[in-house]
Amino acid sequence: MNKKTVRDIEIGGKRVLVRVDFNVPLDKSGNITDDTRIRAALPTIRYLAENGARVILASHLGRPKGTFDDRYSLKPVARRLEELLGREVPVAEDVVGDIPRRAVERLGEGQVMMLENVRFYAEEERNDEKFARSLAELADVFVNDAFGAAHRAHASTEGVARIIPGVAGFLMEREIEMLGRALASPDRPFLAVIGGAKVSDKIGVVGNLLEKVDTLIIGGGMANTFLKAKGFDMGKSLLEGNRVDMARDLMDRAGASGVKFMLPVDLVVSRAADPEAEWKVVPVEGVPEDWMALDIGPESARLFGIAIGEARTVVWNGPMGVFEMAPFARGTFSIARSLAESAAVTIVGGGDSAAAVEKAGVADRITHISTGGGASLEFLEGRQLPGVVALQDK
């Protein structure tokens, strides 16, 4: 990675604004149901505190739409962070202005505080320069450790780095190094597994990966469009009719490039996306007229598992079916287990894929689980991430 990190700058006694991604899921009572993103930022926070920085954390949570809303307060996050750090983490009641300024003035070396939700201000998502300057005035140095928000050119991810010196935190550094190495210099054979609902969401990823991988596996709802392009009747399955020609073109490109292109050979189908509905396994040429494909079948999972086992680098982004429902989760969990059993470098994109490896109980056997759903997707597309571009080069 050619960007400076926290190791490359003096931080002792400095006010350090750290953009973290604490957009964690909460239940109806406001309790955190998954603290993975908080834990992922701990190495950077601890390093800064232990080296005498005055640490000011900034994050968004949910979509408060530019208004102060207690449902999206970061106070529950701060309480969890206090437990993990074993130290007090006060929360300023505001993001910019006198309240956070006075809180920063009280902050001693090695102490940590948190600003309220940056999205309480509409100016955050507009990347408003005045708002970014108000944030920057709180600090001497900016550290971006929020890979999950790095694809957004917002005031707290990109704007601040244009005003005060910006460097990467340890989480950001690892994300860029792991995903970057997979795309630039992977151990081969290099295999990618791409799933999810729509081809249109991942056209860029598939197109970019076709130039880099040895094998490409397509599953999930998006596989239906490719199967339709091969002439199969997909019944009531979700597919994008206006993307069938594009799917055919991508398969032709794979053939011309010598890339092995794998689609499901069997499917789990049902009359409805309902865990109580009747379901059955059929070959791809046998989807009944009024049924829909909701998962890959066992033979597909077996063949995909063999391919994964032969690879040296595997990137996975997107589930194989509606894995939130038990009858349609087997394919996704099978992929998760195949990755866990592989000797390859295994990288799992954020979002549903990360949730799947956690749910399958194999997260500790994956080389790298990305904290960024949209960010990892755009990185795999080969797009530059504004929150990374804005950081200082080495």
pLDDT tens digit sequence for 274-317: 999 999 999 999 999 999 999 999 999 999 999 999 999 999 99
Q: What are phi and psi of 267, to 5 degrees?
A: -140, 150
Tell me which DSSP letter residue 138 carries.
T
What's the rounded mean pLDDT across residues 165-189? 95
Task: List Cα–Cα distances, 262 to 191, 243, 325, in angstroms.
Answer: 11, 18, 25
Q: What is the pLDDT of residue 200?
A: 83
Mean pLDDT score of the chain, rounded to an integer? Answer: 95
Q: What are phi and psi of 326, to 5 degrees?
A: -50, -45
Q: What is the pLDDT of residue 377?
A: 86
Query: Does position 93 have pLDDT exceeding 90, yes or no?
Result: yes
Decide if 198 is catalytic.
Answer: yes
Strands 141-144 and 15-19: parallel
Question: Using H for helix, E for strand and C for coil, what is the string for 34-103?
Answer: CCHHHHHHHHHHHHHHHCCCEEEEECCCCCCCCCCCHHHCCHHHHHHHHHHHCCCCCECCCCCCHHHHHH
Query: Does position 91 have pLDDT exceeding 80, yes or no?
Result: yes
Strands 141-144 and 166-168: parallel
Decide if 79 is catalytic.
Answer: no
**Torsion angle, alpha carbons of 294, 313, 186, 254, to 10:** -40
Q: What is the pLDDT of residue 1?
A: 72
CATH of 6-171, one of 3.40.50.1260, 3.40.50.280, 3.40.50.2300, 3.40.50.720: 3.40.50.1260
Tell me which DSSP letter residue 325 carries.
S
H helix or E strand, kind and range, residue 376? helix 373-381
Strands 215-218 and 260-262: parallel
Q: What is the pLDDT of residue 62?
A: 94
3-class DSSP state of 211: coil
Q: Catalytic one among 169, 321, 351, 372?
A: 351
Task: List Cα–Cα distances, 100 to 44, 57, 137, 276, in angstroms.
Answer: 21, 11, 10, 51
Banded model confidence at residue 34, pLDDT cuts 50, 70, 90: confident
| Residue boundaries of the structural domains of the chain | 6-171, 179-381
Asked whether the beta carbons of 92 and 135 are under 8 A apart, the reply is no
Cα–Cα distance, 141 to 150 (Å, whole number):
18
Q: What is the pLDDT of residue 348?
A: 95
pLDDT tens digit sequence for 332-380: 999 999 999 999 999 998 678 988 999 999 999 999 999 888 888 899 8
Query: Does position 73 have pLDDT exceeding 90, yes or no?
Result: yes
Q: Catalytic one among 198, 248, 253, 312?
A: 198
More confident: 53 or 354: 53
More confident: 34 or 269: 269
Cα–Cα distance, 238 to 13 (Å, whole number):
56
Tell me which DSSP letter residue 374 carries.
H
What's the rounded mean pLDDT across residues 66-87? 96
Query: Does position 86 have pLDDT exceeding 90, yes or no?
Result: yes
What's the rounded mean pLDDT across residues 314-335? 96
pTM of the model as a whole: 0.90
Asked whether the beta carbons of 179 and 379 are under 8 A apart, the reply is yes
Q: What are phi and psi of 40, to 5 degrees?
A: -65, -25
- Paired strand residues for 268: 281, 295
Q: What is the pLDDT of residue 374?
A: 84
Decide if 351 is catalytic.
Answer: yes
Q: Do 179-381 and 6-171 have the same topology in CATH?
A: yes
Cα–Cα distance, 286 to 40 (Å, whole number):
45
Query: Does position 44 have pLDDT exceeding 80, yes or no?
Result: yes
Decide if 37 is catalytic.
Answer: yes
Q: Catalytic one among 37, 54, 119, 330?
A: 37
Longest dimension (CA), the chain: 69
Say if domain 179-381 classifies as CATH 3.40.50.1260: yes
Q: Catalytic one among 110, 286, 374, 382?
A: 374
Q: Own/partner pairs for 79-88, CB < 8 Å, 24+ apart? A: 80/32, 80/35, 80/38, 81/22, 81/38, 81/45, 81/57, 81/112, 81/114, 84/35, 84/38, 84/39, 84/42, 85/42, 85/45, 85/46, 85/49, 85/112, 87/49, 87/111, 87/112, 88/112
pLDDT tens digit sequence for 216-275: 999 999 999 999 999 999 999 999 999 999 999 999 999 999 999 999 999 999 999 999
